[in-house]
Each structure stands twice: as C-alpha cells, then as structure tokens.
Chains A and B, each alone.
Chain A
Amino acid sequence: MVERVNLNHAAGNPVDKRVLKGMLPYFQEFYGNPSSVHIAGRHATKAVANARMQIVNLVGADTKDRIVFTSGATEANNLALIGFAYRNRRKGNHIITSEVEHLSILNPLKFLVKQGFEVTQIPVDEHGVIKLEALKEAITDKTVLFSVQHANNEVGTIHPIQEIADIAGDAKIPLHVDAVASAGQVPVDISDLGASLMTLSSNDLYGPRGVGALIIRRGTSIQPILLGGGQEMGLRSGSENVSGIVGMGIAAEIAGKELEANIRHLTKLRDRLIKEVTTKMEYTYLNGHPSHRLPNNANIRFSFVEGEAITLYLSFEGFLVATSSACTSRTLEPSHVLLSMGVDEAEAHGALQLTLGRDNTETHIDHFIKALPPIIKRLREMSPLYPPS
C-alpha cells in the first residue's frame, strides 16, 4: 500500500495521543454525570470545570466568563447567533457578517432572516480580507451583533480582527468571533479583542470530534436553543459529554503550550509548498492572502483543470487533499469564498485546499511537489481549455 500523506487536516485532525490517553479513564472509570451529587458526579463536575479553565487559558478569557460546551463548532455558532439574536431582539434586528463565513454561520443567519432579522454580508478583497470601510458603513442604529471569522478555513486568510474588534467597540456593538480555524494556529486573545462571544472546535485543536465550545463573556446575554435539563448554566441542555470535554480541554492546553513551535514548523512547510508549487508550474496561483495567512493553509488553483480530477489522481498516489471545486460539493455550487474574492467560476473549479498538520514533514512536501506536476500536466493535456488561445 502507498504511504499516506495527509494534506487535508482541515477536514479532520487525528486525535493527539496525549489527549486520547487523558480521555480514556472517563469512559469506564470515571463515568459519572456532573448532575449527580454523589462522588462520581463530583469527579465529573471537577473534570468539566478543569476543561473550562484549559479553554479560558488558551484564548485569554476570564474565569468569570461562561464556557459552554456543545456538540461542536456548528452548534456553538448556531447558539451564538440564534441565542444572541433572540435574547437581544428588543435592542435591534440587524446583524453584520462577511461573505466568506463558514456555512454554520451563514445558514443560521438565513434562518434568522426568515424570522424577521436583517443581515448584511460584508464583501472581501481579492485576498479574501474583509473590507473594513464597508463594515463601518453597514452599521445602523438597529445593529446588535457583528459575527466575523478570525481566519478563513478554506483559503487561510487571517482577517485584521483587532481592527474589526475596534470598529465594533467604537460602535458599542458586541462581536462574535468564529475562531475555529485560527485557535491553536495563531495567538487568539478574546480579552485583547474585547469580543463578547467566541466559537472553538475541539477537533481543530487535535481533540475529539463532536465537541466544541462557545465562550460567552461577562455581560453578554444569550438564550438557549436546546431546551431540557438546564445543563451548562442553562444554556445547553443535555448530559455533558464528559470524556469529550476532557479531551477538548487537554487539546487546548497542548495547543497553547506548543503554539510557537507549531507555527514555526508549519510556516516553514507551508512557505516551501506554496513557493515550489506556484513557481514550478505555469498558470498556477495562490488563493488567499500571501502573508496574512494561517500557518497550515496553502490554497492553490490550477487553470484549465478541475479539482476533483486532481484530487483523485493524487489520492491514487497516497496524497489526501481537498478541492474547492463544485464537483465535490453537495450542492454542486462553486466555493462561495473564492467567488466572493472575485475568482472566475471556471478557475474556482481548479482550486486545491492543502492543509498541513503537526504530523507533516519535509519529506511529505518533497514527495508532493514531485507527484503534483505530472498530474496537472496530464489533466491539462486532456483539457480543451489548454493551451489558452
């Protein structure tokens, strides 16, 4: 069997061995429910409280902030938007976001529009950076919330989040930051930003899937969207996923401790990958910002070819990658992020999203940059669009 090289970490990280080890006792030995008053319940309560502290430490939150564990970042984003909008409805009905947010932001907002809310989506420039002037201009006296990603998961662009937070702060509008793609990749500090809400994902920190968290700062009110036994300070009913929460906590602690080392490791691999791929082949371009980008992300498009075909050929040789091509999406729509950046629809089909992880090595990059050019060449020879007339 061909050795597998994973360049698709955005789709899923392996759980860190140390995380798994820390989780295992919570399946059988310490299986208590935090709602129980007996000793097993107390033990579980302590474990969840400890995980909250680990999250607080990763993003510079305060011990008085509420850390609500959810079933993942999608639920946390739903809770942030729907929970905030409903709770603060009497203050206004206008929410500002960007055109390049994750679908777990855009689709809850579509739902809110049907409920009578108004949403403004701020466009981005050719590098995928949110246009700050447009953001300022979008504010009305009805605006109750900004919801903006720190970094884009698909093209890797890091937005000027401090400037966005300052615009929100000056207008006294609460800010929700979707930090799923950035936490554990670059420094994230909710206190410096003065954000009111922040979403995190466990698996993006090399923790287990099925766990996420919404950080709700003191003074910010939201209402629950899941009703039941009133767990998680009444904001997320359902017996806590203690083992998963413990795993997310450990993952957050490791991500914080090893942040600088990971940034150095990944940036080196990423820069070499981008340079070699974009200079070795013609009609090959980087998507996203050239320098303000996540250390783990290289999104590259190849003119005249289609991404699913590239992805499959690479897969036959053991490389796991993802494409922004519509041909692999459930809706057959091209990537809303690339289109918003002004990338031509035909070109958007030829984009590869390469996301590096802690396990990647220089050797992986060597193999990849050797394997890729013949595949692109072959597909271009098949393509009626090539050579361009």
Chain B
Amino acid sequence: MYSETVKDHFQNPRNLGEMKDADAIGKTGNPTCGDLIWIYIKVKDDIITDISFKTFGCAAAIATSSMLTELAKGKTLKEALKITRKEIAESLEGLPPIKMHCSNLAADGLHKAIEEYLGKTGRTVEDL
C-alpha cells in the first residue's frame, strides 16, 4: 500500500519534534478527522533556517510531514510557499489515492506557519 520512501519517512521521521524557540507555528488538520499537523519554523532573512513537525495521524500524515520539512529547509519563504501537496507526494514515490487529500496536509501547515511569521512583521505573502 505504501511506497518504500513513505515507509522510510514513517519509520525514521526527519526533523521530528517540538521547536521551543520557533518563530512561527502552522497548525492544520483536525483530530476528529484523524490528522493534526503542527509545523514549526525558524526564519532568518526570509530563509527557513530550521523546521520541525509534530503530527497525530496515519503513516501518510507522518511521512508527508517529514518529507515537507526536508523540502522546505534552507528555502526562502517565497520558494517554500511553492511546495505543493503533489510535489510532496511525488517525492515520496506516491501515496495511495485515498490518502492524497485526507492526510497530505503538511504543505498547508507550512503555509500557515509562513503567514503567521509574516503577520508578526506586518507583512503578507504578497509582500514577498
């Protein structure tokens, strides 16, 4: 059902855990639906210098969170906003069709984190 890359990220999640000194946290999902994803970012000069996650959910939710952090680390905020659900799924060598929408929420979490970060300095994504 899951690709080897999904299994790898599920068993060995990258950048896992709470970030105490995060500049912003993006929260997405809903425990009622079975998926809740928190993305923590640290930003310097509009570059994501550090990123981590905490996720409640199935293997797909955990693996997509892990993959997102790998894709976003070191990117500018503007570049990071271009990361899509599709790109995450492709980087994981695909997801089961039923999981494409329900568990592939990590990109939304990152968008929310970036919006929160920009909001703190009175900016929006349009200002990037």
Which A residues fall within an 8 A CB radius of B? 304-306, 308-309, 312-313, 316, 325-328, 330, 332, 334, 345-346, 349, 381-385
Contacts and interface: CB of A to CB of B under 8 A. Distances in A.
Given A312-B2, A326-B33, A327-B102, 17 more contacts: A306-B56, A312-B59, A325-B58, A326-B34, A327-B34, A330-B98, A332-B102, A334-B34, A345-B31, A346-B31, A349-B34, A382-B13, A382-B16, A383-B36, A383-B56, A384-B54, A385-B56
Interface string B25-42: 001000111111110000
A28 B56 CA distance: 54
B16 A385 contact: no
A382 B54 contact: yes
Contacts of B124: none
Contacts of A383: 36, 54-56
B49 interface: no
Given A332-B102, A349-B31, A327 B57 contact: yes
B59 A308 contact: yes
A56 B34 CA distance: 45
Contacts of B62: 309, 382
9 contacts: A306-B57, A325-B58, A332-B98, A382-B54, A383-B54, A384-B27, A384-B37, A384-B54, A385-B36
Given A325-B34, A381-B17, A384-B38, A309 B27 contact: no
Contact of B58 (A309, A316, A346, A381): A309
B3 interface: no
A349 B102 CA distance: 14
A159 B62 CA distance: 38
The 9 closest A-B pairs by CB, nearest first: A346-B31, A308-B58, A327-B58, A384-B54, A383-B56, A345-B32, A384-B38, A349-B34, A327-B34
B25 to A, nearest CB: 9
Q: Report the interface size class on chain B.
A: 20 to 34
Given A381-B17, A384-B27, A385-B36, A316 B11 contact: yes
B117 interface: no
B69 interface: no
A374 to B, nearest CB: 13
Given A332-B98, A332-B102, A384-B27, A309 B59 contact: yes
B32 to A, nearest CB: 4
Nearest to A312: B59
Contacts of A384: 27, 36-38, 54-56
A174 B2 CA distance: 48
Interface centre among A328, A332, A381 (most CB of B within 10 A): A332
Nearest to A345: B32
Contacts of A327: 34-35, 57-58, 102-103
B35 to A, nearest CB: 8
Contacts of B56: 304-306, 382-385
Interface centre among A304, A308, A312, A384 (most CB of B within 10 A): A384
Contact of A346 (B2, B32, B55, B102): B32
B50 to A, nearest CB: 18
Contacts of B38: 384
A280 B107 CA distance: 37
B1 to A, nearest CB: 9
Nearest to A331: B98
Contacts of A334: 34
A280 B103 CA distance: 30
Interface in B33-79: 33-38, 54-59, 61-62
Interface in B75-91: none
A303 to B, nearest CB: 10
A316 to B, nearest CB: 7
A23 B27 CA distance: 58
A368 B59 CA distance: 21
